[in-house]
Amino acid sequence: MWGAGVLFRDFFRKTKYAILDTPGRLQSREQDVSIRCEECGELILLKDIEKNFKVCSKCGYHLKMTAQERLNVLLDRGSFEEYDKNLETVDVLKFPGYHEKLEASREVTGLREAVVTGKGEIEGNTVIICIMDPRFISASMGSVVGEKITRALEKAEEKKTPIIIFSASGGARMQEGMLSLMQMAKTSAAAARLNEDGVLYISVLTNPTTGGVTASFASLGDVIIAEPGALIGFAGPRVIEQTIRQKLPSGFQRAEFLLQHGLIDLIVERKDLRKVLSRMLVLHKKS
Amino acid sequence: MTNKLEFDKPINELEMKIKELQDFAEEKDINLDDEIKVLKERLYSFKKETYENLLPWQKAQVARYVERPSTRDYINLIFKDFIELHGDRCYGDDKAIIGGIALLDKRPVTVVGHQKGKDIKENVSYNFGMPHPEGYRKALRLMLQAEKFKRPVICFVDTPGAFPGIGAEERGQGEAIARNLMEMSRLKTPVLVIISGEGGSGEALALAVGDKIFMLEHAIYSVISPEGCASILWKDSSRAMEAASLLKLTAEDLLGFGVIDEILQEPLGGAHREPQEMAAKIKEVLIKCLAELEDTPVNELVKGRYEKFRKMGSYSIFEEGQLEILPRDK
Ligand SMILES: [Zn+2]
């Protein structure tokens, strides 16, 4: 009976979802052999780029990573346990094109929304982790993204477990109107509680992090780390250029610019990220 | 006078005609009361007809109208003994946000708000109400000061958005807004917010995390400007009118979404026609609201504020059984 039930249910299942796990190493796809670096234009062999954490071997450019790829390289093998994967986005405003955009993003990413949250281990240290995936409508923050991040922050507070959030976002999700803007207040308020309870929050800024995410939880970490060359800012560079009608200085709004202006703690290359995060977690262990 | 609101023109003309008639009657010492009464009745129904049926885009125009009372106007009309305080103690004094201490009735309060100008000269000085990081940091400094002295905080929101510039980014515009959101959410004193004009995105929100969010009837509050939305959607900012309808940025819409708590009706024909009347209403509401919050222990106040924003958002939950596991052969 039970088996039949499962089959019956499987027959009618509708919602697509990729199982996220941490197999330890990226699977190689034999059909694609090489990829072109967005920065220097060099053709790089896929097997090299995978060995190299998706960093261009010629110029050091950090290519965008999917949420799945980040989990794979960051967490201990098999340690990931996903939270809240059953939250579904609602097109509250019946916004033109939004439904199609959501469907297309789901298809491309295998994800239901722009952030993956859960629990895992980094070199044996338990952490709560949120990873935004820039392929999903520019990882803009709508109600579901805000809710998942808030729940993860609340879980960190409740369990007194450190949290790491990897941001990559174009900002608030216009298609959800004011409810998307309010996610900034919601996530920041949750970060405030964590702050009062003395729980570690590490914010990792990846390319690109802008708008409402920069202006909320991403800027509120106890420690703020950025990947080399990541674009990080509030207003987008094009908007600024159009407003002030002058060319922006080179390197403007890049991670190195933010470090120079005292806005972030440190820049860490991707290959060292796991090690640095692990050390940071150990340094915050209560003795 | 120039730059009148397009849909206000018939109302303005009638107002002028009535004034002329009144002056004429006085000058010639004749009785035109009946004629004036008829015109006044027509004016009333004109205003009612127009302002009860404003489209979202027209509301945006009312909200941005130069003659609409500014934060400083409201401060002068609502509070007594206002002392303006300046600067973020760090970089500078941003005139796009003003703040200070004043008396509301007999109670000392801290008032903070975005400030727009009434003419080009003022607007250059106030940067059109578009703050830089030091503006948010000044606001936060004044709010923390209010917390220390157990004064309630009252915020007026009226900004098109933050200034997109090199200096703003260098000094951490994003961090400044984020810090305000975080600190305001835990401020141990009542925080009341009035969305009085244009609530432009995160820059508005940075002064709008409060226990009670009031919004004037014709104010707007939006994640993006209608022009910005139109240029993203259709690469055509002139379609802002359509975008304004899509964004659901009116007080009525936002009350429905639970983003605001209460709509404050404006005098017929908008706050710009009767600033005194509008101010009196805001004053009454603020006094009443503070009296209600007076007995709430501060911990409960902060907890309630958290819950209020915690609830915002819209999503559904699907059952595990509905999950189809990818990848599947397609
Ligand atoms: Zn390269």
Query: What is the model's pLDDT at position A133?
Result: 96
Position A11 scores a pLDDT of 38
> Between residues A165 and B26, which one has the greater pLDDT?
A165
For chain B, the three-class secondary structure string (H helix, E strand, C coil) is CCCCCHHHHHHHHHHHHHHHHHHHHHHHCCCCHHHHHHHHHHHHHHHHHHHCCCCHHHHHHHHHCCCCCCHHHHHHHHCEEEEECCCCCCCCCCCCEEEEEEEECCEEEEEEEECCCCCHHHHHHHHHHCCCHHHHHHHHHHHHHHHHCCCCEEEEEEECCCCCCHHHHHCCHHHHHHHHHHHHHCCCCCEEEEEEEEEEHHHHHCCCCCCEEEEECCCEEECCCHHHHHHHHHCCHHHHHHHHHHHCCEHHHHHHCCCCCEEECCCCCCCCCCHHHHHHHHHHHHHHHHHHHCCCCHHHHHHHHHHHHHCCCCEEECCHHHEEEECCCC
Residue A21 has pLDDT above 70, yes or no: no
B222 touches chain A (CB under 8 A): yes
The alpha carbon of A63 and the centre of ligand 1 are apart by a number of angstroms equal to 9
Q: Is residue B168 part of a domain?
A: yes
Q: Per the domain annotation, does B13 fall within a domain?
A: yes
CATH (domain of B188)? 3.90.226.10
Domains in chain A, start-ordered, CATH in brackets?
A: 1-61 (no CATH), 64-286 (3.90.226.10)
Q: Report pLDDT for A132.
A: 97
| H-run or E-run covering A217 | none
CA of A47 to the centre of ligand 1 (A): 15
* One-letter amino acid for residue A236 of the chain: G
Claim to verify: residue B294 and residue B219 sit in the same structural domain = yes
| B277 contact partners, CB below 8 Å, separation of at least 6 | B267
- Asked whether residue B17 falls in the same domain as residue B83, the answer is no
Question: Is residue B80 domain-shared with residue B198, that is, in the same domain?
Answer: yes
What is the C-alpha to C-alpha distance for residues A168 and A255, in angstroms, rounded to an integer? 13
Chain B residues touching A97 at Cβ < 8 A:
233
Examine the domain organization and report whether B30 and B74 are in the same domain: no
Q: Are residues B83 and B201 in the same domain?
A: yes
| Residues B276 and B157 grouped into a single domain | yes
The pLDDT of residue B327: 42
Angstroms from A198 CA to nearest CA on chain B:
15
Question: Is B198 among the domain residues?
Answer: yes
Distance CA A244, CA B145 (A): 35
Which residues in chain A are contacts of B206 at CB distance < 8 A?
Answer: 215
Q: Cβ A240–B164 below 8 Å, yes or no?
A: yes
- Within a domain: residue B159? yes
pLDDT at A153 over 90: yes
Classify residue B253: in a domain, yes or no. Answer: yes
Backbone angles phi, psi at A226, to 5 degrees: -130, 150
For residues B65 and B59, give the distance between their C-alpha atoms in angstroms, rounded to a whole number. Answer: 10
For residue A36, the CA-to-ligand 1 centroid distance in Å is 8
pLDDT for A10: 39
Residue A263 at interface with chain B, using a CB cutoff of 8 Å: yes
Full domain range(s) for residue B38: 6-53
> Average pLDDT over chain A, rounded to whole?
89
Q: How far is B189 from chain A (nearest CA, A)?
A: 16
Check CB contact of B303 with chain A, cutoff 8 Å: no
Touching check for A138 and chain B: CB below 8 Å?
no
The pLDDT assigned to B329 comes to 34
Residue with tokens 């009976």: A1
Question: Chain A, 199-238: which have a CB under 8 Å from a chain B CB?
Answer: 211-212, 214-220, 233-236
Give which of A232, A226, A181, A241 is closest to A210, Cα–Cα: A232
Q: How many CB atoms lie within 10 A of CB A7?
A: 9
Q: What is the pLDDT of residues A37-78, one digit of tens each?
A: 888 888 888 888 888 899 988 889 998 999 999 999 999 999
In a domain, B325, yes or no: no
The reply to whether B177 and B206 lie within a common domain is yes
* One domain for residues B93 and B207: yes
Residues B143 and B39 in one domain: no
Are B22 and B79 within one domain? Answer: no
One domain, residues B40 and B180: no
Task: Provide the pLDDT for residue B179.
Answer: 98
Q: Which tens digits make up the pLDDT trace of A192-207? A: 999 999 999 999 999 9
Token pair of B289 as six digits: 């609201």
- What's the ipTM? 0.93
User: Does the beta-carbon distance from B326 to A19 stay under 8 Å?
Assistant: yes
Residue A59: strand, helix, or coil: coil
Per-residue pLDDT of chain B (330 residues; tens, 9 = 90+): 457 888 888 899 999 999 998 899 888 888 888 888 999 999 999 899 999 999 999 999 999 999 999 999 999 999 999 999 999 999 999 999 999 999 999 999 999 999 999 888 888 888 888 999 999 999 999 999 999 999 999 999 999 987 789 999 999 999 999 999 999 999 999 999 999 999 999 999 999 999 999 999 999 999 999 999 998 889 988 899 999 999 999 999 999 999 999 999 999 999 999 999 999 999 999 999 999 998 999 999 999 999 999 999 999 988 766 655 544 333
Let me know if residue B316 belongs to a domain.
Answer: no
Please tell me whether residues B26 and B87 are part of one structural domain. Answer: no
pLDDT for res B10: 87
Closest by Cβ to B205, choosing from A177, A184, A196: A184
Q: What's the rounded Cα separation, in Å, for the pair A139 and A121?
A: 24
Question: For A212-258, what is each residue's pLDDT tens digit?
Answer: 999 999 999 999 999 999 999 999 898 898 888 888 999 999 999 99
How many domains does chain B divide into? 2
What is the pLDDT confidence band of residue A137, given thresholds at 50, 70 and 90? very high
Amino acid A22: pLDDT: 52
